[in-house]
Amino acid sequence: MAGQAGLGFGGLLRQLRDDARLTQEELAEAAQVSPRAVSDLERGINRTARKDTALLLAGALGLDGEARELFVAAARGRGSVEAVLAARQAAPPRGVCGGGNPGAAAGYRGLHRPRGRAQPAGRGA
Tens of each residue's pLDDT in the chain, 125 residues = 444 446 899 999 999 999 999 999 999 999 999 999 999 999 999 999 999 999 999 999 999 999 999 999 999 999 999 999 999 888 755 554 444 443 344 344 334 444 444 444 444 44
pTM of the model: 0.70
Q: What is the CA radius of gyration of the chain?
A: 15
Alpha-carbon dihedral of residues 106, 112, 113, 119, nearest 10 degrees? 80
| Residues across the chain | 125
Catalogue all structural domains in the chain, each as residue range(s) with its CATH number: 9-108 (1.10.260.40)
Angle separating helix axes 65-75 and 9-19, nearest 10 degrees: 140
CB 77 within 8 A of CB 41: no
